[in-house]
Structure 1
């Protein structure tokens, strides 16, 4: 798999590139946001399987780079950064990042996350976002309408833009309101992995959904078990 590493620290990039190469990745190193965007142009060779994006770049903020990447390609983006606050995580995921890893990290953790996000974008293999999640009829949850075929969500008729994983997560919970989904089950069905480290990503996606829908009580946390969707009154 070709992998684009966007990192301005040459020492960090060299060490990580060596590790990734030992695990079979063909790594291209970009030292700035503009260099990364140029590398993603369609005429620069075979497409990349994953982008590892540092946020502290010399020419522009990594969040801006992520937004520009998402406008031109669906290539999975994993943000790799020292910014550990929840607001940064949510902001990155809202911009279209597929995952968020905080430095310092375990190499095995990073490799697992790379494989997890790349599995759903293997050429010819449909990801969860391309599969039917149930009947084609819209799911009505009080003022919330979830349209599975078009992957659109509205609240009181107003469209709510969601990332791919946010929609997959909401659609899963919405098909069985009131039913508690175990964390492991959600991770397995939405992220297609059983790796426990994905749990933090799940929490961030839940927080982002509650914020975007402006209905914090819609998704209830069942302590020690998982989450369930509480259908509001119309």
Structure 2
């Protein structure tokens, strides 16, 4: 910071963040995957398109985030993208538990690199938005996410 700067870089960043914040909290996408690299890559892809994300390394962590009311107010999660195959609480278990909670109407997208027709049918019976196979078509995913969050899907992908 030079002598003639009024704000430090950190203060300037904080001010920019506040000025960019809309009055209503922007809905975020919760990405649930036990594979750290997959979680981070998906988060980066969405954030490059202006979509805010939170991540969870397990179905259990995601459920805690989704049912904790204070956490919900802070996070304003509007969509969940979950991997199918995870530890104790897999993607289908997560969807089932969300559907039985106060967040039953929450849109959910399942992604999987290892799925069969039975999994896809069960997911559709649980009213998921879509069931995408890995490697994910990022254009399709971005269009789905923007549609579910009420964002302009006409933007170039």
Q: Which residue of 2 aligns with 1:143?
A: none
Give the Cα–Cα distance (whole angstroms) in 1 for the partners of residues 140 and 56 of structure 2.
22
Instruction: Output the TM-score relative to the length of structure 1.
Output: 0.48
How many positions carry a matched residue from both structures? 122
Give the Cα–Cα distance (whole angstroms) in 1 for the partners of residues 140 and 129 of structure 2.
15
Choose the corresponding residue for 2:109, options 69, 73, 78: 78
SS of the residue 2:70 aligns to = coil
Choose the corresponding residue for 2:70, options 29, 39, 43: 43
Give the Cα–Cα distance (whole angstroms) in 2 for the partners of residues 21 and 110 of structure 1.
13
Choose the corresponding residue for 2:118, options 87, 100, 106: 87
Give the Cα–Cα distance (whole angstroms) in 1 for the partners of residues 77 and 145 of structure 2.
12
Correspondence 1:18 to 2:44: yes
Structure-to-structure mapping, 1:131-142, within 5 angstroms:
none
In structure 1, the gaps of 5 or more residues are: 123-192, 195-234
| CA pair 118-90 structure 1, distance change in 2 beyond 3 A | farther
Choose the corresponding residue for 1:56, options 72, 85, 92: 85
Give the Cα–Cα distance (whole angstroms) in 1 for the partners of residues 115 and 87 of structure 2.
20
Structure with bigger RCO (C-alpha 8 Å, 6+ apart): 2
CA shift for structure 1 position 46: 3.9
CA RMSD of aligned residues (A): 2.0
Give the Cα–Cα distance (whole angstroms) in 2 for the partners of residues 62 and 106 of structure 1.
19
Structure with greater proportional helix content: 2
**Retained in 2: the 8 A contact 1:31–1:57?**
no
CA shift for structure 1 position 107: 1.1
CA shift for structure 1 position 84: 4.3
Q: Which residue of 2 aligns with 1:118?
A: 149
In structure 2, the gaps of 5 or more residues are: 1-26
Instruction: Output the TM-score relative to the length of structure 2.
Output: 0.70
CA shift for structure 1 position 32: 0.5
Give the Cα–Cα distance (whole angstroms) in 2 for the partners of residues 92 and 118 of structure 1.
20
